[in-house]
Amino acid sequence: MRGIPRAVKALIAILIVIIALSVVISATSGDRASLTLPEKILRGIFSPIGDFFWNIGRGISDFLGGLFRLGSIMDENRRLKEEVEALKSNVAQISGLEAENARLAGLLDLKKQFKGKTVAAKVVYRDFGNWLGTVVIDRGSKDGIKPGMAAINSLGIVGRVVASSADTASILLANDPRNAIGAVTVRSRDFAIAEGVGDGTGVLRLKLLGATPDIRPGDMVVSSGLGGIYPAGHIIGEVVDVDEGAYGMAKVAYVRSSVDFSRVEEVLVLVDSQKGNLK
Amino acid sequence: MRQLGAHRKLDPKLVAAFGYFIGVILQEALLPGLLPGTASMEPVFCFMAVLAILGHNSIAIVLALAGGLTFDLLTGQLVGLNALSYFVSVLAVVSVQKNLVKETLVAPAAVIFAGYLLKEITYLFVLVSLGMNFLLTRVLAQLAFSSAVNACFGAGLYWLLHFRMGLEVKVDRDY
């Protein structure tokens, strides 16, 4: 190597680095059954630190958000005081309704119970980039979480597990362009595939599979259960726009999820994916 | 523009180590919690770019690879993508830094803007080559906005490290 000019050596080193990184990117582009040792060690060290600073960030964000809303909160407070006076006369009626409400809430909770095992997890940190959507949660393979499991919250489908270590797991968010969900429209039962569009707004692209799909804005879209990852019946979102495409041949709809993907804090991982259907 | 009191010499290795640890915490945990859904500010990139502009080439390259790989390993998906995009970007900055006027803020800000743009284009190129689709309007708006955000932050960091804290320009003897 002594006779090789410095510039050529540098060029060779650059090419080696670029080729090596390209190979690793290609090898890790899909779902991964387990993480490598450096990844496990790094996650083990960073998870508690990330969790600590994530909570600080959220705390400051909530505090500043509260300050910005202070003016409107004071107006609302004044209005609410007046309403309280008016509502005092209805207290007797409300106490009767309260008992009814408790019974209905109990029924609702029962209805929401799942057949299979679920694991509740908290987001500890997230991918910072502009284009992809991945969050890391504080539960992993020790709790039975493996790649290919669906993650939901009360508002709908959040994403799916793509990698896990003993104490952590990566969730690929539903709005990531790598994610595809088997979907069906509630009103017309048209089957479709919901894909992330990578715009960070929570809008998913719905590719309709039927020859003459009947879909319009306002239609509710849920998971079809056909993909093998997401159990049937979980909310994906509401249709906000329908694009007929050239000559009406390719109908594409856009669905807005109720989940705010930039603010996901807790998720429920469906460990028994196929048993995880709502009762 | 340099302050008379700035007689201390800042060790670029110390700056890189500080930028690495603070940058990882800020980028992965604090900023996504503080400013969810907004254009991401990337302190590790800005530290790397500032070091490269000031001629600390090898330190900047090591920071780019170490920082990028750390983000990749923490996320566990497409490992090497951040490292590759940081690496391409830092090489571009290193290749132009000798021709820059370093005693103003305009040139460093412009280089950080262009470097960030190149980093994002490299990142997107890999994603698109893997079959992912993005909305063009979203891509253009995001590129312009996030590059501007990082250029502003990077220029501020350059001012702080170079003009206020005395991080010096390294002159390459081969030049």
Per-residue pLDDT tens over the stretch A171-223: 999 988 888 899 998 888 889 999 888 776 788 988 888 777 888 899 999 98
Q: Are A163 and A149 in contact (CB under 8 A)?
A: no
What are the pLDDT digits (tens) for A93-133? 555 456 556 544 543 453 365 667 788 888 888 877 778 88
pLDDT at B17: 95
pLDDT at B117: 95
- Cα torsion angle, B109, B113, B115, B116, sign: positive
Q: Are A142 and A130 in contact (CB under 8 A)?
A: no
Q: Are A33 and A147 in contact (CB under 8 A)?
A: yes
Chain A interface, mutation test: which of B21, B31, B34, B128, most A Cβ atoms within 10 Å?
B34
Pick the CATH number of B12-164 from 3.40.50, 1.25.10, 1.10.1760, 2.60.120: 1.10.1760
Domain that holds residue A252: 180-263
CA distance A219 to A239: 5
Q: What pTM, to 2 d.p., does this model score?
A: 0.77
Chain B contact for A33 (CB, 8 A cutoff)? no
Which residue has 């330190």 as its token pair? B59
Question: Has residue A119 been placed in a domain?
Answer: no
Q: Report the residue of chain B nearest A10, measured CA to CA.
A: B91
Which helix (DSSP H) or strand (DSSP E) does residue B100 occupy?
none
Q: Which residues, including other chains, have CB under 8 Å from residue B131's CB and lie 6 or more apart?
A: none
Does the pLDDT of residue B118 top 90, yes or no?
yes
Q: Helix (H, G, I), strand (E, B), or coil: what is residue A153?
A: strand
CB contact under 8 A, B37 and A125: no
B175 pLDDT tier (thresholds 50, 70, 90) = very low
Q: Which residues, including other chains, have CB under 8 Å from residue A94's CB and lie 6 or more apart?
A: none
pLDDT at A103: 43
Question: Which of B24, B40, B75 shows the shortest C-beta gap to A170?
Answer: B75
Amino acid at residue number A212: T
What's A228's domain CATH number?
A: 2.40.10.350
Where do the structural domains in chain B lie, given as residue ranges?
12-164
Q: Helix (H, G, I), strand (E, B), or coil: what is residue A171?
A: strand
Q: Write the DSSP string, A137-152.
A: ES--GGGT--TT-EEE
Does the pLDDT of residue A9 top 50, yes or no?
yes
A13 pLDDT tier (thresholds 50, 70, 90) = very high
